[in-house]
Chains A and B, each alone.
Chain A
């Protein structure tokens, strides 16, 4: 299934800070954050910003005590960079552990063109992915890197504040109303033969 978010979060490993950098220069955003990790075998993990809040986007069920930063990326921009380096650009919906807990709509997606399998086995793919990661890191603005996010608690909303339940609720309501109508008709239909007979 192809997803089409306009902005996505990327979790930054090790809080997004390099181990060391020349402090006389501006703190760099390491391109290593945009390289596929050993877990990204099928694609780079990204999270739709319209469906999951930053606090929860920085959280991993597998490592619940690790605090992370997130980088907000413009999908059209990362896709443009992917095209520049001859990479296909497709974001696929992929349910992660949090999606399983909170249900649809699914926030987690994969940029399949950045994956560890090809990175480790195909030199040309690795060359492209490295170029992509370096360019993405160089283009990202500092205001798009969040502070280290707190560990989520019951007080943190899973869905972002701008998430609208409206259409979904409306659809649900419509479905409930339709079901009631059908039941009513069915009961009425059942009663009618008896009354006639």
Chain B
């Protein structure tokens, strides 16, 4: 009997406790797996290494303007709980391209050396949206305006910044078993 009760409590905790958490710098990370965290770390690290690699590999590459904008964008995207990108590449005329993918759709952010940021949405490899992304005060584009690449919907009421804690008696299941 006690065993069953422990199991039920465990199930209850799993159901009502959200996987979201608050990062030390106030960022909201929702449902991130260790793999996602690793991917985020790796891709951010790759951008920081662009400048080192640039003189070794090619003449056309990203400058510090593009690099810094791409970096702050990636950090903001991570904070907002987006899936990590699938690819980061260099724009052939100078800049950085960050690509997110979901089945047949891919969202592409291009950070040009001139400081311009461009958003491109592809569906089945065809461009359906192509526009300059306006930048906010922090120098980052308003990501939520353009993308749907969230791990979980950020606007949902159930995703409060605090983990939901309910009293045991709230569960009808548990009340019945008492």
Task: Please list the residues of chain A having a beta carbon within 8 angstroms of any beta carbon in chain B.
Answer: 13-15, 18-22, 24-25, 28, 30, 32-33, 35-38, 40, 63, 66, 85, 116, 120, 123, 126-128, 130-131, 134-135, 138
The contact of A134 among B50, B88, B89, B122, by CB within 8 Å, is B122
B92 touches A22 (CB 8 A): no
A21 touches B87 (CB 8 A): yes
A130 touches B127 (CB 8 A): yes
CA distance A25 to B38 in the complex (A): 15
CA distance A18 to B35 in the complex (A): 20
Count of interface residues, chain B, beta-carbon cutoff 8 Å: 31
A20 touches B60 (CB 8 A): no
B88 touches A19 (CB 8 A): yes
CA distance A38 to B59 in the complex (A): 11
A35-B91 in contact given A20-B43, A25-B86, A130-B127 (Cβ < 8 Å):
yes
Distance from A31 Cβ to chain B, minimum over Cβ atoms (Å): 8
Distance from A15 Cβ to chain B, minimum over Cβ atoms (Å): 7
Distance from A95 Cβ to chain B, minimum over Cβ atoms (Å): 22
User: Within 8 Å CB of A21, what residues of B?
Assistant: 86-88
A18 touches B57 (CB 8 A): no
CA distance A95 to B126 in the complex (A): 33
Of the candidates B96, B122, B126, the one having the most CB atoms from chain A within 10 angstroms of its own CB is B126
B130 touches A13 (CB 8 A): no
The contact of B50 among A19, A116, A131, by CB within 8 Å, is A19
CA distance A28 to B170 in the complex (A): 50
The contact of B60 among A15, A25, A38, A126, by CB within 8 Å, is A38
B89-123: CB near A (< 8 Å → 1, else 0) gives: 11111101100000000000000000000001010
A22 touches B87 (CB 8 A): yes
A63 touches B93 (CB 8 A): no
User: Within 8 Å CB of B92, what residues of A?
Assistant: 13, 32-33, 35-38, 40
A15 touches B87 (CB 8 A): no
User: Within 8 Å CB of B53, what residues of A?
Assistant: 19
User: Within 8 Å CB of B90, what residues of A?
Assistant: 13-14, 19, 32
The contact of A127 among B60, B87, B97, B127, by CB within 8 Å, is B127
User: Within 8 Å CB of A30, what residues of B?
Assistant: 87, 89, 97
A13 touches B125 (CB 8 A): no
User: Within 8 Å CB of A32, what residues of B?
Assistant: 89-92, 97
Question: Is B47 interfacial (CB-CB < 8 Å)?
Answer: yes
Distance from B8 Cβ to chain A, minimum over Cβ atoms (Å): 36
Question: Is B84 interfacial (CB-CB < 8 Å)?
Answer: yes
User: Within 8 Å CB of B97, what residues of A?
Assistant: 30, 32
User: Within 8 Å CB of A130, what residues of B?
Assistant: 120, 122, 127, 130
B58 touches A13 (CB 8 A): yes
Of the candidates A24, A25, A130, the one having the most CB atoms from chain B within 10 angstroms of its own CB is A130
CA distance A63 to B86 in the complex (A): 30
Smallest Cβ-Cβ distance to A130: which chain B residue? B127
Question: Is B39 interfacial (CB-CB < 8 Å)?
Answer: yes
User: Within 8 Å CB of A116, what residues of B?
Assistant: 93
Distance from B100 Cβ to chain A, minimum over Cβ atoms (Å): 10
